[in-house]
Homo-oligomer: A and B are copies of this chain.
Amino acid sequence: MKGNRITLEDIAKRVGVTKMTVSRYLTNPEKVAKATGLKIKAVIDEFGYVPNRAPVMLSQANTKTIGLAVSSFSNLLFSDLIDGAEARARQAGYEIMLAHTGYRMEEEERKVTQLMSYQVDAMILTDPIHSPLTVKNLKMSNIPVVELMSVIDHPIDMNIGYNHKKIAYAAIKGLINSGRRNIMYLAARMDTRTMDRQAGYLTALREYGMEPHIYGSEAPSNFTIGAETMRKALMEFPQVDAIFCTNDDVAIGAMIACIEQGVRIPDDISILGYNGLNIGDTTIPKLTSIRTARYDMGKSAVELILMRLHNDHTPDTHMELTPMLSLGQTLTMEESQAISRHFDTLYALKLPQFPDPEEMHKRSGRRRLS
């Protein structure tokens, strides 16, 4: 059971020309006699024809394909990111080749290898940590690589993302300054980003001599996890007056648990989410969340790659993005303002909310290896 793929040769034989003529017709119809062209068209319409990517991959030419290894398809965050990358890529005549890693380093290694084996011209990664082999293969291949999501210390190549620790720190400080004294961190799936936010939370509490209260589970986050964890927390730590959540899924779960227990939001407890997904827009009360620019991150990653691919000078780019508070009703107005103010202070340098391609290569950072 094997497919019979139609090749240029098949078409050519049927028409009575060589495959070269058919190839020419496909790329440059006017270079072929009108009569011949019509005959070729007729046969293609009859047989169907799908070009084979292999020769392009085999030749030294660019494949005009960018590999994108996202952490997950069940986290809505990444579908926005994919859309942004695909939109920009298509506009430039590139295509995105997709894979997902399930947040696992070995799986990322598999998938990056897979993508590279298709001779992608560049790679976009969303996982924060890579296996040594992944890093080596990428560096040796010398293709542009963009690591998304977090600001990282030693990127393989380019980097666009948020400093989650700093952001968490600023948010918690805002809550403390507004009078909250028993702030809890609601974690889930102890990945790097969750841990970064936790570090920011801990730093802020320590600064004010407060006791940390961290609740969470190893499991992937969802509403159920958020609600269950929150019910437990309300039993064990009833004096809690603010919840900082690692993402909007668990935040909504927590909100459900609070409403169910008759806790008033934000009077008794304020709730702050992370990511600003659409889900939070519908809840009553609407969830206040820290918004990250997912679509733009995907788009900008492709933007950087295109610059690398088309200009020969290589902007060595590490972009830190500024967060925005997505206003809802789960924080008091005062709290929201305090947090926004802290964001403004931390990002006083007016870092871009997403990279501005025009400016990008003026700003240069670390040198690129290889």
A223 to B256, CA, bound (A): 15
Can you identify 19 A-B contacts, CB atoms within 8 angstroms?
A1-B308, A1-B312, A3-B143, A4-B141, A47-B140, A48-B141, A50-B113, A52-B58, A53-B57, A53-B117, A54-B54, A58-B58, A73-B82, A74-B76, A97-B97, A222-B279, A223-B279, A224-B278, A224-B281
User: Contact at B223–A282, with CB atoms within 8 Å?
Assistant: yes
Q: Which chain B positions have C-beta within 8 A of A48? A: 133, 136-137, 139-141
Interface bin, chain A? 35 or more
Contact of A142 among B3, B57, B222, B226 (CB under 8 A): B3
Q: Which chain B positions have C-beta within 8 A of A140? A: 4, 6, 47-48
Q: Which chain B positions have C-beta within 8 A of A121? A: 2-3
User: Contact at A314–B98, with CB atoms within 8 Å?
Assistant: no
Q: Which chain B positions have C-beta within 8 A of A308? A: 1
Q: Which chain B positions have C-beta within 8 A of A73? A: 73, 78-79, 82
Could you tell me which A residues sit within 8 Å of B by CB distance?
1-6, 47-55, 57-58, 60, 62, 72-74, 76, 78-80, 82, 95, 97-100, 113-114, 116-119, 121, 133, 136-137, 139-144, 222-224, 226-227, 253, 256, 259-260, 278-279, 281-284, 308-312, 314
Shortest beta-carbon distance from A145 to chain B in Å: 10
**CB nearest to A6 among chain B residues:** B140
A62 to B48, CA, bound (A): 21
Q: Which chain B positions have C-beta within 8 A of A5? A: 116, 119, 141
User: Contact at B142–A4, with CB atoms within 8 Å?
Assistant: yes
Chain B CB within 10 Å, residue with most, of A54, A57, A137: A54
Shortest beta-carbon distance from A79 to chain B in Å: 4
**CB nearest to A223 among chain B residues:** B282
Q: Which chain B positions have C-beta within 8 A of A82? A: 73, 100
Q: Which chain B positions have C-beta within 8 A of A282? A: 222-224, 226-227, 253, 256
